[in-house]
A and B are shown apart, each in its own frame.
Chain A
Amino acid sequence: MVVAPPKTKTAKKEAQETSKYVGQSVKRREDPRLLTGRGTFVDDIKMPNMHHAAILRSPRPHARIISIDPSKALAHPGVTTVLTGAEVGDKSLPFPVGVVAPFKYYSAAVDKVRYVGEPVAVVVASDRYVAEDALDLIEVEYDPLPPVVKPEDALDPDAAILHEELGNNIGCHRELDYGDVDGAFAEADLILKERFVFPRYSSLPLETYAVISDHDATTGVVTVRSNFMGPFSMHAVTARALNIDENKLRFIVPSDIGGSFGIKSSIYPYIVLISLAAIKAGRPVKWIEDRQEHLLASSCQTDRVAYREVAVKNDGTLTGIKSKVIENVGAYLRAPEPACTFRPIGNFVGPYKVQNVRIDAYDVMTNKCPTGPNRGYGCQQIYFEQERMMDHIAEELDLDPIEVRRRNLIPAEEIPYTTPMGGIYDSGNYQKGMDLVVEMSQYEKLRQKQEEARKENRLFGIGIATGIDPSVSNMGYITVALPPEVRAKPGYLPKSGSAESATIQMNQRGKVSVSMNTTPQGQGHETVVSQIVADELGIRPEDVVVIDEFDTAKHGWFISSGTYASRFASVGTSAAVLAARKLKKKIIRLASALLLVSEDDLVIEGGTVVSKSDSEKSITVKRVAGTAHWNLELLPDDIEAGLQARAVFRFPSNVAPDSQDRVNSSNTYGFMAEICVVEVDRDSGEVKIIDWFSVHDAGTVINPMLMEGQIYGGALHGIGGALYEELSYDDEGQMLAGNFMQYVCPTSVEAPKLNIGHICSPSPLTPLGSKGAGESSTETAPAAVASAVADALRPLGININELPLNPKKVWTLIHEPQPENN
């Protein structure tokens, strides 16, 4: 249910005043083909002479490989070839990564395995069944080594070392200092400190990783069809590992990807592995990751331990934060990691005005699966820690948790606002958002209900969380992982930017097609682009064909291309707007030449270019288009034949980090405020979500139906991490959640009904005023649930500093009180 906020001009209403289709819940044009099984996914693609790969994976968390004998597998009927890790070491280079630590990461274990599920060998065979049969025939001898599993254990001087060349398990360590932290703590009325544990979980897209690689031995070109979704900076990483020039690595992404939520950024090691197998096999090779492989060894977010200390004034004002973070990036720190730590650097303080921040960040390597982007990337962890502290402050000072947050919100009049870390919040009104969620939830009544429930000895809790939703990463943020002195070296190439392009063309009869680089994963980009272009050109969405297949050999693209970090609503749409405007300008210019009327005097109305001063002078767009294509004689020399336009959109505020490690890590910054109501069952430990109120400010909403879908998906993803999901490992490094009986993911039945409200603070930086929204509630839902459960359990004197709050954990907290920490 969407609650239209009273007294608030909704995004929809605002959009209707200026446009026809932007702001409307236009139905998804992708759905008919997806719902009738006519989508084109990687697995739908069949190449001539294509064979199939299966991957032998390590059953051990940490061991030296003594020997691999593939001879029995090679003798198995139907087997084409076997590629071993040792060959991977010979035929490819280690993946580059943006940290100074000198360790080597290849697409398969070369001489040592470092996590359960790590590729050890690849079998290529006539079909996948035969390939899997042959896996059992490869003989591998291991010499086990002691495992390192938990983040803090990795820092223990006595811990086993994963990468001997490194001498320790620290992939990246940065101490970041903003403002006067020591001053803030010296002057604090109250100092609180807590330890937090955040679990590793994933996204479970319906479609798993998929790669088809084909090597042309004559040209040396490797053509890869995969469901990689950007950032295309990973294309460069892949080419480097394959040791080929970038123009000889062609990435093709079909029109449909069955969900990603970030994790398909990290498919590229498999692109290298399968390409090496294809080169050896001398034929195209397809590999489709199965669900077991996916849970065991796909990408996921880090698990992390964090210590947070806050300096507070007696009135509840937060004046300083000291944060020590130990992120577990798994066996190899793999690009774009350690972005988990730095992606949210600009919005580290959320919507709060605190000026003094110190972050002591470790990215440690352990015998777990390597990590990567997962919806919310880095933000859910920060907001969990931040919002738990807000509740602690409220409790200590006997303030209402809403009130303590209100006292710290950045006032609307100070926006655009630069955070101490350099993030520039482009627009927003956080007080208004907070007011709305309080009003929608009837917060006072909820507190009365809670009082009644407590009288009946029921465990009823109300949770609150706010957050800033960063969208469109500035590619430069990741270089905060490097010390400033490294970035200052001559010869170092600084990094910044987040460009995207779109190409539009009008055919000779005035119909339009648009080509995008945005590798959609189900978000509905074709629908949205058709809405935008229809508005810009004054035509109907059904007259706009949108093609969103991607091909590095055919498209103009950027290292930032793709869809991740909530880019599309900000940057993809903006490129489409600019391309349409460029086309429109060309139509007007051409009409001006044909009508001999100045361009300023011409407008397009209902498919006709007409003079404002003399309505007799007009020409249909169709005729302009026909002329541009068919009758070049009439075209002035300075106008290109045809009607095509390519536009590039980039944000002005994207600069590389400064010497103080300040960086505007994203570009547009949305806001969300959640109120979550739960009841806890004492007997089972189950947390039941009774009600949920979710307020969003994503600037102009282009398609409210799509945004509502994103909010539902995002919230459920966060709820999954808060209550259900965990990629658990035992103390020996064995993965415990390798199937759907053990890895518990909420489904539609578990999804609470959301009461959604919107406020609209259009971004001044994008042509439509839009911002990303797909990660929003993913970032705040875990904090909201934790806040609610802590509130429910407060009468029992229980503190919540660890997720997921599954029944086992909650039951144990209630029935077996024990000292904290694990």
Chain B
Amino acid sequence: MKPAKFEYHDPHSIEETLDLLKQYGWDAKILAGGQSLVPTLNFRLASPKVIIDINKVKDLDYVQETDGKLAIGAMTRQTTLELSEMVRSKCGLLSDATELIGHPQTRNRGTVGGSIVHADPTAELTAIALALDAEMVIVSTEGKRTDSADDFFISVMTTNLEPEEMLVEVRFPVLPSRTGWAFEEFALRHGDFAVVGVTTTITLDADEVCTDARLAAIGVDETAFRDSSVEEILKGEKITDLVLQEVGDKLSEKVDPFDDLHASAAQRKHLVGALAKRSLQKAKTMAVHNSKRKK
């Protein structure tokens, strides 16, 4: 469990990093928090010729409000999502869901950008990004582009990032008032990769009728899974047990999950529906609570 030999660079600026990426392309791999890359190197599942360690790059670790969005720098540690007051007040789902990502020790190192770019199909942040239509801010020596989460995630650990490109920021929407949220997840142990997880948000009007609902699931597809037909069931409805049942059933029907050592496809299909119901129930309760608070 020793990595193969690699060339190591530790640039101090984004420009320097982009130059290195341009120079080495596919041969290079960016090291952010290292919580996935380092084990991958040690297992020799990957043996990149060049490691570009961006821990010394300034100006990638921040949380700020930009153009009405919550902008999070790619090197922001996951712990910051838990602790930042701004994250909590603008997009509390991120704060609440972060405790499901690994353990305090891994969150102290693991980064927001690293998790998004790694695109593990069970990563909580990928589901939240997809559900909330987060935007990815991507740079290269050629310039800057913005991509939607929907386009960004392609498959298992595959995004549309080109080898010379780098994710620098993720923008989440500020959650509207009268909104509740939840992330319900089943993992074999506390802090493990999710077997299945479902994140939801629900926005209610004054009569507790759902005006907006978002739902994304992990552990049931090659990327986080979202389907508008599932969300549509909720919109314009009062959130009753009957509606939740319908959503759960629809979601179970829509997904086409896989078998592995720890869960069967049938189990995942069943569980995603059950977790969707639990997640929506929680989100609704919170939305009702938040609506009352606003009055």
Q: A and B, one complex?
A: yes
Q: Which of A776-822 contact B (CB under 8 A)?
A: 806-808, 811-812, 815-816
Contact partner of A686 (CB less than 8 A), chosen from B186, B191, B192, B275, is B186
A724 touches B188 (CB 8 A): yes
User: Is A8 an interface position by the 8 A CB rule?
Assistant: no
Cα distance, A728 to B270, chains bound together (Å): 25
Bound Cα distance from A741 to B195, whole angstroms: 11
B263 contacts partner chain A, Cβ-Cβ < 8 Å? yes
Classify the secondary structure of B's interface with A: loop
- Asked if B83 lies at the interface with its beta carbon under 8 angstroms from chain A, I say no
Q: Which residue of B lies closest to A683 (CB)?
A: B274
Q: Is B5 an interface residue (CB 8 A)?
A: yes
The stretch that binds B, out of A126-134, A397-405, A464-472, A598-606, is A126-134
The verdict on A808 contacting B262 (CB below 8 Å), with A133-B4, A133-B5 known, is yes
Q: A414 at interface (Cβ–Cβ under 8 A)?
A: no
How many Å from the CB of B80 to the closest CB on chain A? Answer: 23
Residues of A within 8 A of B264 (CB): 808, 811-812
Are B190 and A684 closer than 8 Å at their CB atoms?
Answer: no
State whether B43 touches A807 (Cβ < 8 A).
no
- Tell me the smallest distance from the CB of A317 to a CB of chain B, in Å: 41
A139 at interface, CB cutoff 8 A: no
> A750 to B263, Cβ gap below 8 A?
no
Q: Provide the residues of chain B in CB contact with A685, threshold 8 Å.
A: 267
Interface residue A292 (Cβ < 8 Å from any Cβ of B): yes
Proximity bits, B1-39, A CB within 8 Å = 1, else 0? 111110000000000000000000000000000000000
Given A728-B261, A811-B267, A290 and B190 contact (CB-CB distance below 8 Å): no
Nearest chain B CB to A3's CB is how many angstroms away? 27
Q: A749 in the interface, Cβ–Cβ < 8 Å?
A: yes
* Residue A280 lies at the interface, judged by CB distance under 8 Å to chain B: no
| B293 is an interface residue with CB less than 8 A from chain A | no
Proximity bits, B261-280, A CB within 8 Å = 1, else 0: 11110110011001100000
| With A132-B2, A292-B43, A744-B188: A683-B262 Cβ-Cβ less than 8 Å | no
What are the residues of chain B within 8 A of A133 when measuring CB–CB? 4-5
A291 at the interface (CB under 8 A from B): yes
Complex CA gap A231/B98 in Å reads 48
Q: Which residues of A contact B262 (CB under 8 A)?
A: 742, 744, 806-808
Q: Report the minimum CB–CB distance from B5 to chain A (whole Å).
A: 7
Q: Decide yes or no: A807 and B188 within 8 Å by CB, A683-B270, A728-B261, A744-B262 being known contacts.
A: yes
How far, in whole Å, are A128 and B275 apart by their CA atoms in the complex? 46
Q: Interface size for chain A: under 10, 10 to 19, 20 to 34, or 35 or more residues?
A: 20 to 34
B87 CB to nearest chain A CB (Å) = 25
Question: Which residues of A from 264 to 295 have beta carbons under 8 Å from B?
Answer: 290-292
Interface size band for B: 20 to 34
**Is there contact, CB below 8 Å, between A744 and B274?**
no
Contacts of A128 in B (CB 8 A): 2
CA of A746 to CA of B192 in the docked complex: distance in angstroms? 11
A-contacting residues, B179-204, CB 8 Å: 186, 188-193, 195
Interfacial chain B residues near A290, Cβ < 8 Å:
1
Task: Tell whether A808 pairs with B267 under 8 Å between CB atoms, given A684-B186, A728-B261, A749-B189.
Answer: yes
Give A749 to B191 CA distance when docked, in angstroms.
10
State the Cβ distance, B218 to closest chain A Cβ, in Å. 14
Expressed in whole angstroms, the Cα–Cα distance for A501 and B2 within the complex equals: 42
Chain A contacts of B270 at CB under 8 A?
683, 811, 815
CB distance from A594 to the nearest CB of B (A): 62
Contact with B along A401-444 (1 / 0, CB 8 A): 00000000000000000000000000000000000000000000
User: Could you say which residues of chain B place their CB within 8 Å of the CB of A684?
Assistant: 186, 195, 267, 271, 274
| A145 lies within 8 A of chain B by Cβ | no
Beta-carbon contact of A129 and B186 below 8 Å: no
CB distance from B124 to the nearest CB of A (A): 16
Q: Shortest CB–CB separation between residue A722 and chain B, in angstroms? A: 14
- Determine if A737 is an interface residue (Cβ-Cβ < 8 Å): yes
Cβ < 8 Å to A, chain B residues 229-268? 261-264, 266-267
Contact partners of B191 in chain A: CB under 8 A = 749
Q: How far is the CB of A683 from chain B (nearest CB, A)?
A: 4
* CB–CB B267/A812 < 8 A: yes
Report the Cα distance A750→B191, complex, angstroms.
Answer: 11
Chain B residues lying within 8 Å of A140, measured Cβ to Cβ, are none
Residues of A within 8 A of B275 (CB): 683
Interface residues of A in 282-334 (CB under 8 A from B): 290-292
Q: Does A747 contact B (CB under 8 A)?
A: yes
Residue in contact with B189 in the complex, picked from A737, A746, A808, A815, CB distance below 8 Å: A746
The residues in A between 573 and 587 inclusive whose CB is less than 8 angstroms from any CB of B are none
Output the nearest chain A residue to B189 by Cβ-Cβ distance: A750
Q: In whole Å, how far is B47's beta carbon from the nearest beta carbon of chain A?
A: 10
In the bound assembly, the distance between CA atoms of A177 and B3 in angstroms comes to 55
> Cβ of A659 < 8 Å from any Cβ of B?
no
Whole-angstrom distance from the CB of B294 to the nearest CB of chain A?
A: 33
In the docked arrangement, what's the CA distance between A684 and B184, Å? 12
Bound complex: CA A812 to CA B1 (Å): 36
B37 CB to nearest A CB, Å: 15
Closest to A738 in B: B43
Find the B residue at minimum CB distance from A686: B186
> Are A292 and B1 in contact, with the CB atoms below 8 A?
yes
Taking CB atoms, residues of chain B closer than 8 Å to A741 are 192-193
Interface centre among B261, B262, B270 (most CB of A within 10 A): B261
Q: Which residue of chain B lies nearest to A135 when distances are taken between CB atoms in the complex?
A: B44
- A residues in contact with B266, CB < 8 Å: 815-816
Q: Is the beta-carbon distance between B189 and A807 smaller than 8 angstroms?
A: no
Q: What is the CA–CA distance of A128 and B264 in the complex, to the nearest angstrom?
A: 39
Asked if A724 contacts B189 (CB within 8 A), the reply is: yes
> How many angstroms between the C-alpha atoms of A292 and B3 in the bound complex?
13
Residue of A nearest to B272 (CB): A683
Could you tell me if A806 and B188 are in contact, using CB atoms closer than 8 angstroms? yes
Q: Which residues of chain A are within 8 angstroms of B192 by Cβ–Cβ distance?
A: 741, 744
Among A132, A683, A737, which residue has the most Cβ atoms of chain B within 10 A? A683
With a cutoff of 8 Å between Cβ atoms, the chain B residues found around residue A724 in the complex are 188-189
CA distance A24 to B186 in the complex (A): 43
Contact B190 A736 (CB under 8 A): no
Distance in Å from the Cβ of B268 to the closest Cβ of chain A? 10
> Which residues of the partner chain A approach B5 to less than 8 Å between Cβ atoms?
129, 133
Q: Which residues does chain B contribute within 8 Å of A67, judged by CB atoms?
A: none
Q: In the complex, what residues of B have CB within 8 A of residue A728's CB?
A: 261
Within 8 A of B (CB), among A723-755: 724, 728, 736-737, 739, 741-742, 744, 746-747, 749-750
CA A290 – CA B5 in complex, angstroms?
A: 18
Q: Is the CB of B43 within 8 A of A750?
A: no
Query: Could you list 14 further interchain pairs (A-B, Cβ under 8 angstroms) beyond the known A684-B186, A816-B266?
Result: A128-B2, A132-B44, A291-B1, A684-B271, A744-B189, A746-B189, A747-B189, A749-B189, A749-B191, A750-B189, A807-B188, A807-B263, A811-B267, A812-B267
17 contacts between A and B (CB under 8 A): A128-B2, A132-B44, A292-B1, A683-B274, A684-B274, A724-B189, A736-B261, A741-B192, A744-B189, A744-B192, A744-B262, A749-B190, A807-B186, A808-B263, A811-B264, A815-B267, A815-B270
A residues near B (Cβ < 8 Å) are: 128-129, 132-133, 290-292, 683-686, 724, 728, 736-737, 739, 741-742, 744, 746-747, 749-750, 806-808, 811-812, 815-816
Interface pairs A-B: 8 shortest CB-CB: A683-B274, A290-B1, A749-B190, A129-B2, A811-B267, A684-B186, A132-B2, A744-B188
